[in-house]
Chain A
Amino acid sequence: MTTQFPVTNGNLPVGEGDGRTYEAGTDKPLLEIRDLEVSFNTSEGVVHAVRGADITVYPGQSVAIVGESGSGKSTTAHAVIDLLPGTGKVTGGSIKFDGREIVGLPRTEMEAMRGRDIGLVPQDPMSNLNPVWRIGTQIEEALKANGFEGGKRERKDRVAGLLQEAGLPDAERRARQYPHEFSGGMRQRSLIAIGLASRPKLLIADEPTSALDVTVQRQILDHLEVLTQELGTAVLFITHDLGLAAERAEHLVVMFKGRVVESGPARQILANPQHPYTQRLVASAPSLASRRIQVAHERGQESDELLAPDLDATVPRVERGAAPADIVVAKNLTKVFTIRGGRPGASADFKAVDDVSFTLKRGHTLALVGESGSGKSTAANMVLGLLEPTSGVVEFDGTDIASLSTKEAFAFRRRIQPVFQNPYGSLDPTYSIYRSIEEPLALHRVGSKKAREKRVRELLDLVSLPQSAMRRFPNELSGGQRQRIAIARALALQPEVVVLDEAVSALDVLVQAQILDLLGDLQRELGLSYLFITHDLAVVRQIADSVVVMQTGKVVEQATTDEVFDNPREQYTRDLLAAIPGAGLEGVAIAG
């Protein structure tokens, strides 16, 4: 057994606070990537995903590769463990592990290295465990494959030990369960147990927590950090989140379009980014943005001024007349789902939303914040009139939407439009962009065919897309472009309220920043009101005027954005705030 642990190098300087620091040259590198080139054969020819990357990892060191999707960061990591997807191939350069060249190693030798020398913690905990095998069995496999000595009993004990170590209590019982009985966080812990099962010298963590809620994310990363430090495992951390990378790794490697554009100690890069791309990345990292908070402040004040005449009944507004200032009022909303049980009479009630009240003012942005399962999306669906509340009332512009007739409800839908999280799923792949945007107009019989085409062109201008995009199809556009299309479609009918359900969560930070800017501009130009649903408090600070924090269906805190950030009242809100990656690094960025 002991042979499976790496020999801890006693003379390595293990610093306090700053993490572990290493001088190049005092030690032989564990992983040495030189001039790595990886390309994929696609129907449109050869795509060079990585072009000449150099990365060095010393034993016990933690290195993070940062970049947006398509930057080649994951491809580099998968090349190291020889698990490139599809037609991916290393076409040049070398990867040396422990002084041994591993590019072109025979399959069986590579199989022997995987798990034992190089471990992997993959990105999405939902899809990375085989649903048909027990958790324990899947960890046992890793032990058996890497020459674990000992019988069945010892193996079972070891599995329980590994799960315990990864932070799962009651490990022996947990090992007998199946993946679907685990939450996302528990699955990710199991995957960490698998990755570390045979004590590899290098652990590749590929966006290990990007699919998890922020508070869970923090716990798991803390745990992973402690564990790898104890075991002396080197970590190659892949992430799109600069704040997260700076917080978790000593050394940063920034990748852009397949190239390493900058590399150095984390704090140095953060404080003094050299490459223009890194500078942009530092500037728009939501967790580090300080400039834009001011913008939000300004906008908040502006809106207040605009609204002042409304509140004062004696001075009616020119455009909106005596319209109430509160456009959406949710009163004591409750939604109960009945879960069917296995036997007669065994069905159970599940309260997804429990007595939730909030008010969205005209021209304002209200953020509903919470982790998955907090009921925020259910609440939004009730506001949209897509779900009927079990009890409670949604008032839109002073009218209870439940009281609307079918015809009135149809008209109501024009005034409130949604934009959903997944820009890949919410556009019909067989519809051209033109048809997607025109569809709501045609459905509501707005104008002639010619007028509609003019409107589509206007809308494309509004979301800063070229008019030529009209004739293209969703699969020809990037995620950010698709989200712009979804916004254009939502705006087609000139709604007063737009419900943005995690509308920027699936986007890279730079794109996310662009979309948030666009939303801000549109709000000012068109006087829109936003109901912004998100799990990401960092985004909230950039866009919202007031915040409703939800937990397990209930409202735990409700205040203006500034109050929530400067002076959170509830423990849960404080946990959420503390969990924003890079929250503790703010000083560094501002100083730089």
Chain B
Amino acid sequence: MLWYLGRRLLQVIPVFLGATLLLYALVFLRPGDPVAGLGGERGLPEAVQAQIREQYNLNEPFIVQYLLFLKGVFTLDFGIDFRGQEIMDVIAAALPVTFQLAIMALVIEAVFGIVFGLIAGMRKGGWFDGTVLVISLLVISVPTFVIGFVLQFVMGVKLGWFPVTVGRDPNFYSLLLPAIVLAATSFAYVLRLTRTSVAENLSADYVRTARAKGLRRTQVTGRHVLRNSLIPVVTFLGADLGNLMGGAIVTEGIFNINGVGGTLYQAIIRGENVTVVSLTTVLVIVYILANLLVDLLYAALDPRIRYA
């Protein structure tokens, strides 16, 4: 087990280096000069531009810039952005909100997706199954921003059940509606995955054996159908945590949340390469760790998988 953990953690190193190098190369290759764009219509004086280039090592060759960036990562000093803010502070401000939002969305999609999927799978072809399938199809096919604006308008503006926007001071209640919107699409996938998995397991031989033992229906469902059905669902949920963290740009925009998505979007517009790469790197690490967690959870659910 420890060997396995060690091996997996060692794998983080090449993934981290490869991902950052790739990201750095991509933003570096982007056309346009970020410094020239700083001064607006009139542009900055030559001398100031030169000084900024000096400050951000923009005159150095690509690989030197990258190595300097790496040095920054390991000393936890990403430098400052064009507006004079410590990038570390920018990340520290954006990450917790997004993290909270992602976890809330994950819980919502897991709980509702699994419960509804279980009921639909148990009564495949029934009216509940039909209704839920149509709803999930709707949710999958309607873009997130439509769901977001509609819910914001109905629940926030018209009914006044939820705050319309989140703003500077996010709390559990104000993040609830954005979390629902963020969870919507994945909820539909979790539901369908659980439903198929449950329906398949219901006709498995070991379920028949369990019934032949004389177990009651609830026991058969809980102990033999549900646990086995969760294995693929857990895989999906783990991979989805990464998506929820990085893919909240639209939702964060609608509800005016100062999270990773918004910050990243702004940084891309302004051409702040270091901020973009730094934030993305954090997301990459979150992704890797989430996947590791999934693999460990996998082993807990399925004893056939043993990491020696």
Contacts and interface: CB of A to CB of B under 8 A. Distances in A.
A131 B214 contact: no
Nearest to A341: B308
Contacts of B307: 342
Contacts, number: 93
A343 B6 CA distance: 10
Contacts of A120: 209, 212
Contacts of A115: 212-215
A120 B211 CA distance: 10
B127 to A, nearest CB: 18
Contacts of B302: 131-132
A133 to B, nearest CB: 7
B227 interface: yes
A145 B303 contact: no
B205 interface: yes
Contact of A132 (B212, B213, B215, B303): B303
Contacts of A86: 203
A141 B223 contact: yes
Interface string B195-223: 00000000111111111111111010001
A116 B214 contact: yes
Contacts of A107: 217
A131 B304 contact: yes
Contacts of B273: none
Nearest to A204: B212
Contact of B213 (A108, A123, A142, A180): A142
Contact of B204 (A127, A141, A146): A127
Contacts of A114: 211-214
A119 interface: yes
B302 to A, nearest CB: 6
Interface residues of A, number: 39
B138 interface: no
A234 interface: no
Secondary structure at the A interface, as helix, strand, loop or mixed, is: loop
A85 B209 CA distance: 12
A122 B308 contact: no
Contact of A122 (B4, B208, B224, B228): B208
Contact of A130 (B203, B206, B219, B308): B206
B293 interface: no
Interface string B65-86: 0000000000000000000000
Contacts of B157: none
A127 B217 CA distance: 20
B195 to A, nearest CB: 17
A142 B204 CA distance: 18
Given A86-B203, A122-B209, A130-B228, A112 B303 contact: no
A83 B208 contact: yes
B205 A122 contact: yes
B301 interface: yes
Contacts of B203: 85-86
B173 interface: no
Contacts of B223: 133, 141
A124 B205 contact: yes
Interface of B: 3-4, 203-217, 219, 223-224, 227-228, 301-304, 307-308
13 contacts: A120-B209, A122-B209, A123-B205, A127-B206, A131-B302, A132-B228, A133-B223, A141-B223, A146-B214, A180-B303, A180-B304, A191-B209, A342-B3
Given A85-B203, A178-B303, A342-B307, 6 more contacts: A115-B215, A131-B302, A131-B303, A132-B227, A141-B210, A342-B308
